Amino acid sequence: MSFEPRSAKHSRKSTRAQDEQPALPSRRVKHPSNKEKMSNLYYNFLIVLFIGLTVGLILRFK
């Protein structure tokens, strides 16, 4: 029975587990962000909404 600190035992276990398992891809590689796509969609929606409301007001009060 050895009296090593808990962190030393845990770090030794985790390094063994890391050596045995293949490296996983990072989250950013596995799940890429679609932030740019969503912002473009949002701005295009705002432009279409503005044009639609402008045309609607012009036609209504003509």
Tokens of 56: 């609607």
Q: How many domains does the chain have?
A: 1
pLDDT at 9 over 60: no
Output the pLDDT for position 21.
80
pTM: 0.54
Is 47 domain-assigned?
Answer: yes
Q: Is residue 12 part of a domain?
A: no
Residue 58 maps to a domain: yes
**Which pair of tokens denotes residue 60?**
């209504």
* Backbone φ, ψ for residue 13 (5° rounding): -65, -45
DSSP state of 21: S
Label residue 36 by pLDDT band (50, 70, 90): very high
CB atoms within 10 A of CB 61: 6
Do the domain assignments include residue 49? yes
pLDDT at 8 over 70: no
Predicted pLDDT of residue 22? 83
Q: Does residue 29 belong to any structural domain of this protein? A: no
Is residue 22 one of the residues assigned to a domain? no
Tell me the average pLDDT across 47-62.
Answer: 97
Domain enclosing residue 62, as ranges: 35-62
